[in-house]
Chains A and B, each alone.
Chain A
């Protein structure tokens, strides 16, 4: 008799534990407002990413096509993957002084791991992280970018 009682008790406990779990599943099944899934490609217009989100490195330019990069290569040295390559040139000012300036700021997005070390290293805040994250392209070469716009100049007063 003891065995039978134990058996019935086990069955009762088992069924109770299963129903407990099913109760919760049922709750979420009938409470649709708890759904938190985002439908990504459709919500593109309303999708707001945090401002610190690391999507890719960009170089902000002003309206008069000026940037803040002096070509000191601090970011190039800070980068662990060789993502950044800066080619510099010497510009001669009207007074005849030679000054170092950037010719091309090459950024290899395909090598970048978004570690943020270049942004931290930059002494003049010339580069920053953008929030764009849809980086897929058809050709690998499209991922190698030149960040300074053609004809851009160093902003006045940035040393």
Chain B
């Protein structure tokens, strides 16, 4: 394996993109074999930000290990925490109060919008437009303020606990979310005007990074990446958790399978998230925000698996318990890892310039891949 710049026996050029490269969003390292400008092979190298979170979790109790998962996919930390809280509730058999369920789903959807917003800005910047980044961060700031007020943190909230949520919503929460939803609905049309219809953007996206439905399934893609290829895989629809089963929303599916389809799926998902927030924000039931639980949680001996739909796809938590206060083994199934594995398939045969566009629409978060 050649790791430095060089040429192979066939005369192909080998270059490194990353780990310090603005387009790789963090410390992703891609070793690319090029024939002229055409990509022959993309080889992702991982491990630059490995923190052995799974091993760390083995020494933490079932209340403590949740906060670590905010540090994996830090853009949808609420949803990661949600998955971990669900697996503990499944093991200890805690009934979550209706109010807590609604608050959780509201937070999840706000996080999804915030995460897609950051993706939208960063991806537009990858393909050469700098203005969308500022537009996206302006709206994301409103969500961050809502989170800060209710959860006490802007990025790594640790708000979901086994049995509900850590604190009740702030008195201003409903008003602020409504304000945000009304404002964002007009702003998202602005986004379409600014970027989606742009001819340069479209010609950089259409037909780039194609992956077929069969390949998307066999590579284990999930989330918007798989849904853009026509795979119906929304966990919120297929295995509903908390109060998702009572909600009306559409699973966004497109069949083109290229970068532009992935872009459109995410844009439409933001609208669907607003739709869910609209349904719930006036219907938060009264009651407890947290179920009464024992001070020390113990999962019975056995194996437990739950999955949630993060902004990037299916996030699974697999816990093996020996009956003690700490898990025997924890495995996280992170969506970014499987989506990254399809990058080679998507970009082979394409041009090196298109690699950045493809990578942008995969919405990679490196700490989620490396854990």
Binding site for B on A (CB under 8 A): 13-14, 17-18, 20-21, 24-25, 36, 49-50, 52-54, 78-80, 113-117, 120, 129
Q: Chain A residues near B131 (CB, 8 Å)?
A: 25
Q: How far is the CB of B249 from chain A (nearest CB, A)?
A: 29
Say yes or no: A116 contacts B193, CB within 8 Å: no
- B152 proximal to A (CB < 8 A): yes
A50 to B138 alpha-carbon distance, docked (Å)? 19
Q: Chain A residues near B166 (CB, 8 Å)?
A: 116, 120
A49 to B193 alpha-carbon distance, docked (Å)? 35
Say yes or no: A113 contacts B149, CB within 8 Å: no
Q: List 23 interface pairs A-B (beta carbons < 8 Å), by A numbering.
A: A13-B199, A17-B199, A18-B200, A20-B198, A21-B193, A21-B195, A21-B198, A24-B194, A50-B148, A50-B149, A50-B152, A52-B150, A52-B151, A52-B152, A53-B152, A54-B153, A78-B63, A78-B64, A80-B65, A115-B67, A116-B158, A117-B64, A120-B166
Say yes or no: A17 contacts B67, CB within 8 Å: no
A34 to B67 alpha-carbon distance, docked (Å)? 36
A14 to B198 alpha-carbon distance, docked (Å)? 7
Say yes or no: A20 contacts B193, CB within 8 Å: yes
* Closest A-B pairs by Cβ, 4 of them: A80-B64, A14-B199, A52-B152, A115-B67
Q: How far is the CB of A83 from chain B (nearest CB, A)?
A: 12
A49 to B153 alpha-carbon distance, docked (Å)? 11
Q: Chain B residues near A80 (CB, 8 Å)?
A: 60, 64-65, 67-68
**For chain B residues 155-183, which have a beta carbon within 8 Å of chain A?**
156, 158, 161, 166-167, 170
Q: Chain A residues near B138 (CB, 8 Å)?
A: 36
Q: Chain B residues near A113 (CB, 8 Å)?
A: 67, 156
0/1 string, B60-81, CB within 8 A of A gives 1: 1001110110000000000000
Say yes or no: A117 contacts B67, CB within 8 Å: yes
Q: Chain B residues near A20 (CB, 8 Å)?
A: 193-194, 197-198
Contact of B190 among A14, A24, A114 (CB under 8 A): A24
**For chain B residues 40-93, which have a beta carbon within 8 Å of chain A?**
60, 63-65, 67-68
Q: How far is the CB of B196 from chain A (nearest CB, A)?
A: 9
A13 to B2 alpha-carbon distance, docked (Å)? 46
A148 to B141 alpha-carbon distance, docked (Å)? 36
Contact of A24 among B65, B148, B193 (CB under 8 A): B193
A124 to B161 alpha-carbon distance, docked (Å)? 20
Q: How far is the CB of A18 from chain B (nearest CB, A)?
A: 7
Q: How far is the CB of A145 from chain B (nearest CB, A)?
A: 20
Q: Chain B residues near A18 (CB, 8 Å)?
A: 198-200
Contact of A21 among B65, B167, B194 (CB under 8 A): B194
Residue of B nearest to A10 (CB): B199
Q: How far is the CB of B85 from chain A (nearest CB, A)?
A: 13
Q: Chain A residues near B161 (CB, 8 Å)?
A: 120
Residue of B nearest to A114 (CB): B153
Contact of A53 among B141, B148, B167, B194 (CB under 8 A): B148
A18 to B198 alpha-carbon distance, docked (Å)? 6
Residue of B nearest to A27 (CB): B190
Say yes or no: A52 contacts B170, CB within 8 Å: yes
A80 to B64 alpha-carbon distance, docked (Å)? 6
Q: How far is the CB of A76 from chain B (nearest CB, A)?
A: 12
Say yes or no: B152 contacts A116, CB within 8 Å: yes
Q: Chain B residues near A115 (CB, 8 Å)?
A: 67, 156, 158
Q: Chain B residues near A78 (CB, 8 Å)?
A: 63-64
A18 to B138 alpha-carbon distance, docked (Å)? 22
Q: Chain A residues near B153 (CB, 8 Å)?
A: 53-54, 114
Q: Chain A residues near B150 (CB, 8 Å)?
A: 52
Q: Chain B residues near A116 (CB, 8 Å)?
A: 152, 158, 166
Q: How far is the CB of A25 from chain B (nearest CB, A)?
A: 6
Contact of B63 among A14, A21, A36, A117 (CB under 8 A): A117
A112 to B158 alpha-carbon distance, docked (Å)? 13
Query: Chain A CB within 10 Å — which of B68, B153, B200 has the most?
Result: B153
